[in-house]
Amino acid sequence: MKIPMTKLTVVSESLLREELLKMMRQAGAKGFTITQADGEGSRGVRATEWEGPNTRIETIVSPSVADRILDQLANRYFEDYAVIAWMSDVTVWRAKKFQD
């Protein structure tokens, strides 16, 4: 039941939420934990790109699904949108839900 997996966190402007969830689902992600977040840049004021509420999406996936999602993010979003992503190693229980 203890399985090492990858947790991918994506923070973006809220408008992208449904689009990103769809893309991540198509890449193989099977469940998401979504929280509302604020973003703030280095100038102490919200940068234009961060205006309005942000969405923080977490998904736990295999390394290969993580790579697929990150390729999509890099190709389609990183240039033009306020999207950031990071991943970390986690150990999961009830992993069946998350496996691809």
Which residues of this protein are in contact with a copy of itself, per CB under 8 A? Answer: 1, 5, 7, 11, 21-22, 25, 29-42, 44, 54, 56, 60, 70, 73-74, 78, 83-94, 97-98
Say if residues 35 and 56 touch (Cβ distance below 8 Å): yes
Q: What is the DSSP letter of 49?
A: G
Closer to a copy of itself by CB, 51 or 74: give it.
74
Say if residues 62 and 42 touch (Cβ distance below 8 Å): no
Q: How far is the CB of 64 from a copy of itself (least distance, A)?
A: 15
Measured CA angle at 6 (ends 5, 11), to 5 deg: 150
CA distance 28 to 66: 9
Q: How far is the CB of 92 from a copy of itself (least distance, A)?
A: 5
Q: How far is the CB of 62 from a copy of itself (least distance, A)?
A: 14
